[in-house]
Amino acid sequence: MTKYWISSETSVEINDAPDVNAVHFNVDDKNIMVSAGQTIYEALQRMPGIGEIPALCYNPAIRPYGACRLCTVEVSEDRGKSFRFVASCLYPAKEGQIVKTNTEKIRKLRKGIIELLLARCPDVRVIQELAKEYGVEKPRFSLGGHDCILCGLCVRACQEIIGKSAISLVNRGIYKEVAAPFYAYELGEECIGCGDCSYVCPTGAIIMGSNGKPVLPRVKIPYAEVGAMTSKEKLSTSQK
């Protein structure tokens, strides 16, 4: 019989059952047994107090995306000889794995991510709480005024749960943002006003408006497109 932990304070003795579709692995020096087919993060969400893994871009109703990387853990698949970083919301739980969720290396990595998030969204409470937990007092980077962390949960909720594409992530790099089609400030008929995007938003960046539809963060059209639009306007004016 082997001792398996089902929470941070409770363990049970279980006989090995080779015919059962289960995965046995170790998390922070505790033996764990879960049903096969789960990611590490998904499995540990069902086991209170085992593993210390924060996440902002995860929702059990939506396929994992791995945007925030706060759920990064150390994993070994050679009995502890070597470890590597993986995003636990994407990485499957495997037989014989050794998982470490709160080592000094992991905390340092998460601290760097949180510092970047705090610089982007200094007034968001959930990020402020994470910054306090991980000892981030003041970012070394210039502060932004955003509420959106670009996790994409709102977009994926609209597509996967509702079956619509009323909003999407547009552009790349520093211009990436959540927007309605054609950068409209108000959502069109494609939006049914279900509020799913607002509900899953981890930072409160999307709120429901008085018209029953969500209010998105104000978008900025990229400079390249502004230039193109301006050129077209000048060209049409000169041809008149």
SS (H, E, C) 15-83: CCCCCCCEEEEEECCEEEEEECCCEHHHHHHCCCCCCCCCCCCCCCCCCCCCCCCCCEEEEECCCCCCC
Cβ atoms within 10 A of the Cβ of 45, count? 18
Co-location of 84 and 20 in the same domain:
yes
Q: Kindly report the CATH number assigned to the domain that includes residue 191.
A: 3.30.70.20
- Beta strands (DSSP E) in 96-139 are 98-100
pTM: 0.83
First to last CA, the chain: 87
Question: Is residue 142, in this structure, part of any structural domain at all?
Answer: no
Tell me whether residue 188 is in a domain. yes
Question: For a pLDDT cut of 90, what percent of the chain falls above it?
Answer: 63
What is the average per-residue pLDDT within 136-152? 91
Q: What is the pLDDT of residues 90-124, one digit of tens each?
A: 999 999 999 999 999 999 999 999 999 999 999 99
**Amino acid type, 191:** C
Are 69 and 40 spatial neighbours (Cβ–Cβ below 8 Å)? no
Residue 93 is assigned to a structural domain of this protein: yes
Q: Give pLDDT tens digits for 172-213.
A: 887 888 988 877 767 888 999 999 999 999 999 999 998 889
Task: Note the residue count of the chain.
Answer: 240
Say if residue 97 is in the same domain as residue 162.
no
Q: Are 22 and 8 in contact (CB under 8 A)?
A: no
Report how many domains make up the chain.
Answer: 2
pLDDT for residue 18 = 63
**What CATH number should be reported for the domain holding residue 46?**
3.10.20.740
Res. 28: pLDDT tops 80 = yes
Strand pairing category for 22-27 and 98-100: parallel
Above 60 in pLDDT, residue 236?
no
Is the per-residue pLDDT at 3 higher than 90? no
Does 240 have pLDDT greater than 60?
no
Residue 223's pLDDT band, with cuts at 50, 70 and 90, is low
Domain boundary among 102, 131, 163: 102
Does residue 168 sit in the same domain as residue 98? no
User: Is 139 among the domain residues?
Assistant: no
pLDDT of residue 139: 92
Asked whether residue 97 falls in the same domain as residue 32, the answer is yes
Does the residue 42 lie in any domain?
yes
Residue 189 is assigned to a structural domain of this protein: yes
Query: Is residue 6 in some structural domain?
Result: yes
> What is the domain range of residue 22?
2-102
**What pLDDT score was predicted for residue 117?**
95
Per DSSP, 14 falls in state E
